[in-house]
Structure 1
Amino acid sequence: MRAVIIIIFMAIYLILALPVLIIGFIAGLFSKDTQYKIGKFIVTHICRGIMFLTGSRVTITGLENIPDETVLFVGNHRSIFDVVLLIKVINRPFGFIGKKELTKIPYLNLLLKLMGGLFLDRTNFREGLKIILSGIEMLKSGLSMLIFPEGTRNKESEEPLPFKQGSLKLAEKANVPIVPFGIKGTDNIYENNNGLVVKSSRVKLNFGKPILLSELPQEDMKKSAVYVRSEILQLLSK
């Protein structure tokens, strides 16, 4: 029942938001910053409504660890609701790198592009490199970014999959801090259920202290993906 209500809510909201969506793309011709703010405004309200309709109890800690400067948010990936929750919680425009499959969902793909979404085709190395370079340029321009370095959702265990080293090049090349986060319980909202069923869940989201890769010891710098993953494991254990 919750799933049906969420679908109806999204459909009505997206129809009502269409004029603002059009304004956002027009604004983007003159100011990308304005475009991202409009996109974040629209998508944040959708995500707030969706999380409310799931009936989930969300505990958030560590928000004070997010600095005012441009950052790269890095965390584990449990569910499609991870992004919904993060958009709701993070009080600033931010772009992200997601799967190319998201571009196949009508209207949603426009919303995600409006707020700075980049879409990665994992089968095309050259195109993937272009996406990474675009992400670096976004960070340098002042837009924070979000990535899930596992590359996909871990469906087998609570522990994150190994992080892909290349994904952290975004922070390294743009010289911005990484804000790690650990998220638990979102998969119980949808992925762990049978069929199109949405259930309430107890969700925990914990942000850690910023990590500046250039300040790490040389040994940790070489294996920064392992280091950042270990920090996120500690956040998940709290």
Structure 2
Amino acid sequence: MNFVRMIRILPLLPVSWLSCCRIKDKSREARWACTRRWAARVLRWSGIRLHVYGADHLPENCGILFVSNHQGTLDPAVVVCAVPFPVSFVSKKENASIPVLGRWAQAIDTIHFDRSSRSDNIYMFREVIRRLKQKRTLLIFPEGTRSRSQQMQEFHPQALQPGVKARAVIVPVALVNAHVLDVSAVCRDVSVHFGKPYFPETCKEMSPPDLSACIQRDIQAMIASDPLACH
């Protein structure tokens, strides 16, 4: 992480951790609201200006699977601030042990799984489907790791399949400049773009590789069109 920005947010971490411990038995809505407040504080203390586009077009009263590029360490905080309703993440097991961040991930019901374990992959697949059928919202990073740039890595095509199986609405999400939190960059503007939704009827007609490629192109196009994008 950028050293200066890391120093800025260090004083927040102990208080943030205590706050997270206090809300562990609260309702999902209360845990989400508290997480969102702390995510906003982290971005503000980091000197980040957040710009959100397309949130007013998001569908309601249905299961939504957000599919996002993955640029930096604090991408989840950026997403939490941008999404207007509770969202959980699908994340690798190692992230659950990250101090403070792992605790907050648990607070919003993140699904952690071991990508090298067949049983964990089956659990993740079934759990994502179960929650989407309950009309909950989840977000995945199909690249699997941070790019630390505006350039995207290849998606894992099967990552989208739980959303297709659950007949959820799949929404592309483009993060722009989120990697500046990890690198030495002077850019302060971070954008989140919500793209055109893919409804179940459309997803069912496409093969997994084609669907993955279309969503990846949508995200890359949103990044390229953002006038604030740093290179």
Common fold: TM-score over 0.5: yes
- State whether residues 51 and 192 of structure 2, in contact with CA within 8 Å, keep that contact through their aligned partners in structure 1: yes
Which of 189, 203, 223 is residue 190 of structure 2 equivalent to? 203
* Alignment partner of 1:15 is 2:8: no
Which of 58, 83, 86 is residue 79 of structure 2 equivalent to? 86
Give the secondary structure class of the aligned counterpart of 2:217.
Answer: helix
Distance verdict in 2 for CA 1:152–1:227, change over 3 Å? same
- State whether residues 94 and 144 of structure 1, in contact with CA within 8 Å, keep that contact through their aligned partners in structure 2: yes
Instruction: State the match for 1:146 in structure 2.
Output: 139
- State whether residues 172 and 195 of structure 2, in contact with CA within 8 Å, keep that contact through their aligned partners in structure 1: yes
The letter of the residue matching 1:7 is L
Identity over aligned residues, as a percent?
A: 21
Instruction: State the match for 1:182 in structure 2.
Output: 174
**Paired positions, count:** 221
**What are structure 1's unaligned runs of at least 5 residues?**
25-33
- State whether residues 171 and 177 of structure 1, in contact with CA within 8 Å, keep that contact through their aligned partners in structure 2: yes
- State whether residues 220 and 227 of structure 1, in contact with CA within 8 Å, keep that contact through their aligned partners in structure 2: no
Deviating more after overlay: 209-218 vs 39-48: 209-218
Query: What is the CA distance between 1:98 and its match in structure 2?
Result: 0.8
Instruction: State the match for 1:172 in structure 2.
Output: 164
Query: What is the CA distance between 1:168 and its match in structure 2?
Result: 0.6
Matches of 1:146 and 1:56 in 2, distance apart? 22
TM-score by length of 1: 0.84
Instruction: State the match for 1:46 in structure 2.
Output: 38
Instruction: State the match for 1:73 in structure 2.
Output: 66
**What are structure 2's unaligned runs of at least 5 residues?**
226-231
Q: String of CA shifts for 1:84-119, please: whole Å, max 9, x gaps.
A: 111011121111101211221345434322311011
- State whether residues 150 and 161 of structure 1, in contact with CA within 8 Å, keep that contact through their aligned partners in structure 2: yes
Equivalent residue runs for 1:72-151 within 5 Å: 72-151=65-144
The letter of the residue matching 2:23 is V
Query: What is the CA distance between 1:164 and its match in structure 2?
Result: 1.0
RMSD between aligned residues: 2.1
